[in-house]
Amino acid sequence: MDKLKLDAQARVLVLTGAGVSAESGVPTFRGMNGLWEGNRVEDVASPTGFRADPQLVWRFYSLRREAAAKVSPNPGHLALADLEQRLGERFLLATQNVDGLHARSGSRRMLAIHGELFQSRCERCNVPFADAQTYFAAPMPRCEKCQGAIRPHIVWFGETLDPAHLEQVDAFIEAAGEHLVFLAVGTSGLVYPAAGMVDASRAVGGTTWLIDAAPSDEYAARFDHVLRGRSGEILPALFGR
Ligand code: OAD
């Protein structure tokens, strides 16, 4: 495979999804068929689901924390951290993954746009709750300040992304203009606003790449280049790591 050619002005924006962590052994979202223990994932990962049964929701995220703590970054994560080292502020990573594997592999110029599995906060006053624990049983933890329920720091179905994250992505795209190289890696392109980054990148004249094991025709059609395969193999080859 040819190496990605980046001139001195190139700015690289990378959007990653569950596929990047698949080779580490984290199941992809849609790979679970949208079901967890007979519950629709939308019913577990939503504010309504949390209000209805906080214990069930904490059990779901506790199991995900346990699973994520056991796995390790793969060569795809490492290749992205390495590219960041080379490009510095000409690099930005927006990840939809909450598993923490990018940070563990050294990525720093990174926005966890769908939240972080190992962080929690008060549902009512949003104050962060210092823990990385699991809660299988009652009593559920409460906020020390206001007694609100403690919830996972995850962007749930029906919730909006942190506007500051979206502003940083938009600013990066605008500043890069035609020098932008946008890569979407291991994401199905079904969930907005992340799925719209490719269109914003094309609108400023950037070059767009999709790297995915099994991309949909609809999403692939919106990219200049499509590389089909495993990100843990493609990214190191593409970046020459
Ligand atoms: P999906 O599970 O929808 O898609 C994963 C993508 O990874 C698919 O397109 C697969 O073909 C691809 N894939 C699988 N293994 C791969 C590999 N080894 N190398 C490369 N690609 C591979 O996951 P996301 O697109 O991340 O949101 O899902 C987006 C969001 O939907 C999630 O962040 C979650 C969910 O709603 C929230 O939790 C807010």
Domains of the chain by start residue, with CATH: 11-26+73-114+160-238 (3.40.50.1220), 35-70+120-154 (3.30.1600.10)
Centroid of ligand 1 to alpha carbon of 191 (angstroms): 10
Which residue's CA is the nearest one to ligand 1's atom 15?
A: 19
Contacts of 225 (CB under 8 A, 6+ apart): 207, 208, 209, 210
For residue range 9-61, list pLDDT tens digits in order.
999 999 999 999 999 998 776 666 777 888 888 889 999 999 999 999 999 99
Reply yes or no on whether 114 is catalytic.
yes
Contacts of 38 (CB under 8 A, 6+ apart): none
Q: Is the peptide bond preceding residue 215 cis, with omega within 30 degrees of 0?
A: no
Residue 82: C-alpha distances to residues 9, 41, 88, 240 (Å): 18, 34, 10, 10
Centroid of ligand 1 to alpha carbon of 16 (angstroms): 8
pLDDT higher than threshold 80 for residue 136 = no
Ligand 1 atom closest to 156 (CA): 39
The mean pLDDT value of the chain amounts to 93
Catalytic residue among 102, 114, 153, 179: 114
Phi, psi of 27, deg, nearest 5: -65, 140
Mutate to test the pocket of ligand 1, among 26, 116, 187, 216 (most ligand atoms within 8 A of CB): 187
Mutate to test the pocket of ligand 1, among 16, 29, 227 (most ligand atoms within 8 A of CB): 29
The span from the CA of 220 to the CA of 76, in Å, is: 20
Ligand 1 atom closest to 159 (CA): 39
pLDDT category of residue 140 using cuts at 50, 70 and 90: confident
Q: Ligand 1 — pocket residues by CB below 6 A?
A: 17-19, 22-23, 28-31, 45, 96, 114, 155, 186-188, 190-191, 212-215, 230-231
The span from the CA of 93 to the CA of 207, in Å, is: 16
Tokens of 23: 């080779």
CA diameter of the chain: 56
For residue range 67-119, list pLDDT tens digits in order.
899 999 999 999 999 999 999 999 999 999 999 999 999 999 999 999 999 99
pLDDT higher than threshold 60 for residue 239 = yes
